[in-house]
Amino acid sequence: MSETTLPAPLTGIIPPLVSPLSDRDTLDVGGLERLVEHVIAGGVTGLFLLGTTGEGPSLSYRLRRELVDRVSRQVNGRVRLLVSISDTAFVESLNMARHAADCGADAVVAAPPYYMPEGQPELQDYLGHLLPKLRLPLFLYNMPSLTKVSYELETVRWAMGQPGIVGMKDSSGNMTYFNRVREAVSARPAWTLLMGPEELLAESVLLGGHGGVCGGANLFPRLYVELYAAANRPDVHRIRKLHALVMRVSGLIYQVGRHASAVIKGIKCGLNCLGICDDFMAEPFHRFRERERALIASAVSKLAEELDEQGVGTRRS
């Protein structure tokens, strides 16, 4: 593995960056640039590219490479860059890992292979084969609702003993699991533990987590950045205020659609309403139609006001 200046642990808010598209296989280049500046201005400490919110697995490999290339050049070291190499094919994970390293990313991120349902010993073998071939540190990405297979506790404990594995993003939504991992992490102070679902950011940081990979931080980065800071101090009064706003975002933006795609569609549509980027979505999803869009537009402007009242809005003073 090459030298890295990745903080250990990595803290703060690292949005799973939306991938702005103007067509099925075409980046919305201007939108992408605006989005990156928007979240960096909001105080995030890193970007996570090609994750679930970034529709990574739905994009062609060509487009995935272009996105990593463009973002890394734009970011230019201002924040940390994490790139998903999650794939069903080991060789394609390696190809993407090589590209990420070539572009100067700081780390790669791997969920369990998501077609074949491997057992935990097979998953450890898989990681064991992957590690010596990586030039960047590796984060685990626990996302059992989509990958079917979870990084079970035994595997996480094993991973903590592997030099190349430096942390984990847990999107299981299972706080008992998260608590157990956090307990194990307490013996590895350099290991990073990040929360996926933003509804659980406050409590996870209060109890020792290092930050969050919050989808909503694409829209309202300062809200999550300030909530992280309040939880880190900790300032429980402030936490409660901001946590309530996070729940408002979740309630107003993520439950408009009917299917599991509702969260990603809501965020992308919201970004469009904010004038940041196109809301074209890669198959098998499609952008919200008029009815849903009107709900999102109204929610976004209502939320923007409420956020401004708490000083975590997008309006710069």
Cα gap 59→48, rounded to integer Å: 15
Pairwise CA distance, residues 73 & 70, whole Å: 5
Nearer to its own copies, 106 or 198 (CB): 198
- To its own copies, the closest distance from the beta carbon of 200 in angstroms equals 5
Give bridge partners of residue 47 from the DSSP assignment.
Answer: 81
* Residue 104 makes contact with its own copies by CB under 8 A: no
* Residue 82 CB, nearest approach to its own copies (Å): 18
Round to whole Å and give the CA distance between 299 and 291: 13
Q: Residue by residue, what is the 3-state secondary structure of 218-253? A: HCCHHHHHHHHHHHHCCCHHHHHHHHHHHHHHHHHH
The site map against its own copies for 208-237 (x = CB under 8 A) is: x-------------------------x-x-
The interface mask with its own copies, positions 31-70, x = CB under 8 A, is ---------------------x--x-xxxxxxx-------
Q: Pick between residue 88 and residue 298 the one whose CB is nearest to its own copies.
A: 88
Report if residue 73 touches its own copies, rule: CB under 8 A. Answer: no
In the complex, minimum distance from the CB of residue 221 to its own copies, in angstroms, rounded to a whole number = 21
Counting contacts by CB under 8 A, is residue 285 touching its own copies? yes
Cis amide prior to 9 (ω within 30 degrees)? yes
Burial of 110 (0-12, 13-18, 19+ CB in 10 A): buried
Q: Residue 13 CA to chain centroid, in angstroms?
A: 9
Rounded to an integer, what distance in angstroms lies between the CA atom of residue 243 and that of residue 13?
A: 15
**What residues contact residue 28 under an 8 Å CB cut-off, 6+ apart?**
20, 21, 22, 277, 278, 280
Out of 41, 73, 115, 162, the only residue in the binding site for its own copies (CB under 8 A) is 115
Shortest reach from residue 37's CB to its own copies, in Å: 28
From 10-18, 42-50, 73-81, 107-115, span contacting its own copies (CB under 8 A): 107-115
Q: Which stretch binds its own copies (CB under 8 A): 30-38, 73-81, 90-98, 305-313?
A: 90-98
Which residues 235-274 are close enough to bind its own copies by CB under 8 A? 236, 239-240, 243-244, 247, 250-251, 258-261
Token pair for residue 199?
A: 């509804």
Regarding 90 and contact with its own copies (CB under 8 A), the answer is yes
Distance (Å, rounded) from C-alpha 257 to C-alpha 205?
A: 29
Instruction: Provide the phi-psi class of 211: left if phi over 0, else alpha when psi is between -120 and 50, else beta.
Output: left
Cβ contacts of 126 within 8 Å, gap of 6 or more:
90, 112, 113, 118
Decide whether 38 or 169 has the Cβ nearer to its own copies: 169
* Total of residues contacting its own copies (CB under 8 A): 68
**Strand 21-23 relative to strand 165-170, pairing:** unpaired
Q: Which of residues 138-177 bind its own copies (CB under 8 A)?
A: 145-148, 173-176
- One residue of 18, 138, 229, 282 binding its own copies per CB under 8 A: 282
Query: Can you give the binding site for its own copies, defined by CB under 8 A?
Result: 24-25, 52, 55, 57-63, 88-92, 95, 112-119, 122-123, 125-126, 129, 145-148, 173-176, 179-180, 183, 186, 197, 199-200, 202-203, 206-208, 234, 236, 239-240, 243-244, 247, 250-251, 258-261, 282-286
